[in-house]
Amino acid sequence: MTRSVFIGDEVTGAGFALAGLEVRGPDAAASPEAFAAAIEGADFVLVTAEAAARLPAALVAAAVARARPLVAVVPDMTGGRPPQDLAARVYAALGVET
């Protein structure tokens, strides 16, 4: 059975809970240890940009880059913080100007 986890605000989490995801509040992103515990054993993890911003950027980038669990940063329903532009990050990493 696939274990899917959502980490973020309560309002956005309500929708994902209806879709069957295990919902963790933003406190799961309060520390690297709490984040690691939240995604432990998961197959798929969605974390809002707001919650991801509470964590070290390198930790989030490493989690997204790993093959398992699949981790994606998504916007929240409140529109508080959009996720970083992936294309811009790739261009910056490659040293390519757009």
* Cα atoms found within 13 Å of the Cα of residue 39, Cβ hemisphere only: 26
* Cα atoms found within 13 Å of the Cα of residue 2, Cβ hemisphere only: 11
Inform me whether the pLDDT recorded for 37 exceeds 70: yes
Q: How confident is the model at residue 85 (pLDDT cuts 50, 70, 90)?
A: low
Q: Encode pLDDT of 46-73 as tens digits.
A: 999 889 989 999 999 999 998 899 999 9
- Specify the pLDDT at position 28: 79
- Edge to edge, what strands does the sheet with 22-24 contain? 22-24, 4-7, 44-48, 70-74
Domains (range + CATH), the chain: 4-94 (3.40.50.10580)
- Specify the pLDDT at position 86: 58
